[in-house]
A and B are shown apart, each in its own frame.
Chain A
Amino acid sequence: MLKVRNISKTFNPGTINEKKAIDGLNLSLKEGDFVTVIGGNGAGKSSLLNAVAGVWPVDSGSIELAGEDITGLPEYKRAKLIGRVFQDPMMGTAPDMWIEENLAIAMRRGEKRTLKWMVTKQDRELYRERLSELGLGLEDRLQVKVGLLSGGQRQALTLLMATLKSPKLLLLDEHTAALDPATAAKVLELSDSVVERNNLTTLMITHNMTDAIRHGNRLIMMNAGHIILDIEGEEKRHLTKKELLDKFAEVAGHQEETDAVLLS
């Protein structure tokens, strides 16, 4: 489904702020794979998702999604294949527009925007139905500005918008990190059920090891722009938090060593 071949990305090349965010990364996802992504701050997790979503072009390598080479497509053209939820609950919705208008925009993701009236009666029925599945009471508030919703409500709405038109790939970037524990659990549960129901191919970044183990069928760990651990299936199911933390510490410790060498 997704084939990322040997991609690299360096930010601010040739300046003192030069930073190699992704370094010759390879990743291949089968249809229906639900992959959790972990790694320390600055490991390149968000950069991987941004590269796939087309926020900026990669320096080298290629990206193929659903049999189509998308390496040269800008973000708005890839959007027809990709649904996204961001870490910041403010980022995924238009605050000045109604709930139903936000959904209508998502309903036409990747399509040409015509001069047809945007929210039709039958659309509205569909929105109501899908909103009620969130269990947040939003189905009665179709004509409320999204800016008035709480972070958790907005994040749940963004999740619905990302999957309203079933995407080939769903990208979740720490999408529950800004929510309180109860709301985070609820949004995570919603994510699980929507992924399962639509058999969505998914990449989910999280800093929560337990979540990373419990969700999905495959887990990757990133460090310094590489994938350093890739566990799936049976092995992942038996993975313990301790093993993962040890692995994590091993990588971090290794990094400290190199830092020490550099400083000495």
Chain B
Amino acid sequence: MNFLNLLSRMPSACAQGILWGLMALGVYITFRVLDIADLSVDGTFATGGAVTVMLIIAGFPAWLALLIAILAGIAAGLCTGLLHTKLGIPAILSGILTQFALYSVNLHIMGMKANQTASLKKYGMIFENGKGFLVSSRYIPAAIGVGFAIACIVIFILYRYFGTEQGSAIRATGSNAAMASAQGININNMKVLGLSISNGIVALSGGLMTQFQGTADVNIGRGAIVIGLASIIIGEVFCDIFFRKGANFAVRMTFVIFGGVLYYVAMTVILWLKMDPNDLKLFTAIIVAIFLAVPYLKNQAKTSFGRAAKMAANGKGEK
């Protein structure tokens, strides 16, 4: 357990944190903007990876493979959205159904194998030959740089988009659906649109992550939604510390990426402490549950029946 060993692992944690943070950004769009908990992302993340690796193996440039992976993610989001809005299935269930179906779809994409590898040796890096990997665990500083640049581009595009008439209509739908309808917004279309955008970003993240690792795995997305929520919550806590409530949308999205990095740093520390990696999911779930509960408990502390009873018993209530 030496400290230098921990330090040496940090750059890799940062790189992975940024790439997963991108995934969290996708979750942010549904969970915070649209106010829907979309569970399709576990499947979409793997889809992004599967499409990317198979296309690279088929000879596509890695960047083009990524763009097509985004389209695949959008299609998955579309499915969830249509299940929810056209067939009236609750959002959570729609997401679970898509996620479930995607497991088979992903296996098909990967030629019925649970994982597929594209070797860095064979395809090289993009700065070597113009069509190789964008990120790789062999070039961690470059991976951090590229991941950061892509995150900035995505945040910029989302920031602009959600300031347009259409983007604002999505926000209004998430904020108050009755108001949106009364103002002539087709809320069903907006939900489908938001879910598609979200899953497109998640697939992009999945595609980058498989390039980083050099393999696509059908199970890579398992629990992605929870990691996404953890990143969002960690990011929001720090955002509130630095900016109070006054942060604009772009800053809040940047903090989501930052939350992803912190999450990975924390996980790396836990592993360095020689805890059983099998317990990581338990830790993550507990942390997410605590942070999701905090706003509720804070409110309860101010106004609860228990408190009211105590106040009454102490005679303070009469003053």
B175-210 contact mask (Cβ, 8 Å, vs A): 1 or 0:
110111111111100000000000000000000000
Q: Which of the candidate stretches B72-80, B107-115, B162-170 sits at the interface with the other chain?
A: B162-170
Indicate whether A111 reaches chain B with its CB closer than 8 angstroms: yes
Specify the chain B residue showing the minimal Cβ separation from A111. Answer: B184
- Provide the residues of chain A in CB contact with B185, threshold 8 Å: 76, 79, 105, 113
Q: How far is the CA of A117 from the CA of B179 in the complex (A)?
A: 21
Q: Which residue of A76, A86, A105, A119 contacts B187 across the interface (Cβ within 8 Å)?
A: A76
Indicate whether B261 reaches chain A with its CB closer than 8 angstroms: no
Indicate whether B232 reaches chain A with its CB closer than 8 angstroms: no
Q: Which residue of B167, B171, B178, B182 contacts A96 across the interface (Cβ within 8 Å)?
A: B171
Q: How far is the CA of A35 from the CA of B82 in the complex (A)?
A: 41
Indicate whether A57 reaches chain B with its CB closer than 8 angstroms: no
Interface contact A77-B175, CB-CB below 8 Å? no
Indicate whether B172 reaches chain A with its CB closer than 8 angstroms: yes
Q: How far is the CA of A117 from the CA of B163 in the complex (A)?
A: 6
Q: How far is the CA of A105 from the CA of B169 in the complex (A)?
A: 7
Interface contact B176-A93, CB-CB below 8 Å? yes
Interface contact B182-A79, CB-CB below 8 Å? yes
Specify the chain B residue showing the minimal Cβ separation from A158. Answer: B179
Specify the chain B residue showing the minimal Cβ separation from A83. Answer: B182
- Provide the residues of chain B in CB contact with A115, threshold 8 Å: 161, 164-166
Known: A76-B186, A80-B184. A105 touches B172 (CB 8 A): yes
A94-131 contact mask (Cβ, 8 Å, vs B): 1 or 0:
11110001101110111101111111000000000000
Main secondary structure of the interface of A (DSSP, over half): loop
Indicate whether A156 reaches chain B with its CB closer than 8 angstroms: no
**Interface size range of chain A in the complex:** 20 to 34
Q: How far is the CA of A75 from the CA of B184 in the complex (A)?
A: 7
Interface contact A79-B171, CB-CB below 8 Å? no
Interface contact A94-B187, CB-CB below 8 Å? no
Name B255-277 residues within 8 Å CB distance of A: none
Interface contact A101-B178, CB-CB below 8 Å? no
Indicate whether A161 reaches chain B with its CB closer than 8 angstroms: yes
Q: Name the residue among B161, B164, B167, B168 with the largest chain A CB count within 10 angstroms.
A: B168
Indicate whether A91 reaches chain B with its CB closer than 8 angstroms: yes
Known: A76-B186, A105-B169, A161-B183. A94 touches B175 (CB 8 A): yes
Interface contact A75-B176, CB-CB below 8 Å? no
* B296: min CB distance to chain A, Å: 17
- Provide the residues of chain A in CB contact with B166, threshold 8 Å: 113-115
B101-142 contact mask (Cβ, 8 Å, vs A): 1 or 0:
000000000000000000000000000000000000000000
Interface contact A114-B183, CB-CB below 8 Å? no
- Provide the residues of chain B in CB contact with A76, threshold 8 Å: 181, 184-187
Interface contact A79-B181, CB-CB below 8 Å? yes
Q: How far is the CA of A116 from the CA of B187 in the complex (A)?
A: 19
Q: How far is the CA of A259 from the CA of B99 in the complex (A)?
A: 55
Interface contact A93-B186, CB-CB below 8 Å? no
Known: A115-B165, A117-B163. A96 touches B175 (CB 8 A): yes
Specify the chain B residue showing the minimal Cβ separation from A171. Answer: B182
- Provide the residues of chain B in CB contact with A111, threshold 8 Å: 184
Indicate whether A84 reaches chain B with its CB closer than 8 angstroms: yes
* B232: min CB distance to chain A, Å: 15
Q: How far is the CA of A109 from the CA of B181 in the complex (A)?
A: 10
- Provide the residues of chain A in CB contact with B182, threshold 8 Å: 53, 75, 79, 84, 86, 92
- Provide the residues of chain B in CB contact with A53, threshold 8 Å: 182
Known: A94-B175, A95-B176, A96-B175. A110 touches B184 (CB 8 A): yes
Interface contact A118-B176, CB-CB below 8 Å? no
Q: How far is the CA of A91 from the CA of B167 in the complex (A)?
A: 20
Interface contact B165-A97, CB-CB below 8 Å? no
Specify the chain A residue showing the minimal Cβ separation from B188. Answer: A76
Interface contact A116-B164, CB-CB below 8 Å? yes
Q: How far is the CA of A179 from the CA of B304 in the complex (A)?
A: 26
Specify the chain B residue showing the minimal Cβ separation from A119. Answer: B163
- Provide the residues of chain B in CB contact with A80, threshold 8 Å: 184
- Provide the residues of chain B in CB contact with A84, threshold 8 Å: 182
* A104: min CB distance to chain B, Å: 7
Q: Which residue of B164, B172, B184 contacts A94 across the interface (Cβ within 8 Å)?
A: B172
Interface contact A93-B164, CB-CB below 8 Å? no
Q: Which residue of A97, A110, A119, A161 contacts B175 across the interface (Cβ within 8 Å)?
A: A97
* B202: min CB distance to chain A, Å: 22
* B246: min CB distance to chain A, Å: 10
* B191: min CB distance to chain A, Å: 13
Interface contact A91-B164, CB-CB below 8 Å? no
- Provide the residues of chain B in CB contact with A96, threshold 8 Å: 171, 174-175
Interface contact B184-A77, CB-CB below 8 Å? yes
Chosen A-B contacts, 9 in total, with CB atoms closer than 8 Å, are: A75-B181, A76-B184, A76-B185, A80-B184, A94-B171, A96-B175, A105-B168, A114-B166, A115-B161
The 4 closest A-B pairs by CB, nearest first: A79-B184, A94-B175, A110-B184, A96-B175
Given contact pairs A76-B185, A91-B179, a sample of 12 additional A-B residue pairs in the complex whose CB atoms are under 8 Å apart: A76-B181, A80-B184, A91-B176, A91-B178, A93-B176, A106-B183, A108-B184, A110-B184, A113-B164, A114-B166, A115-B164, A115-B165
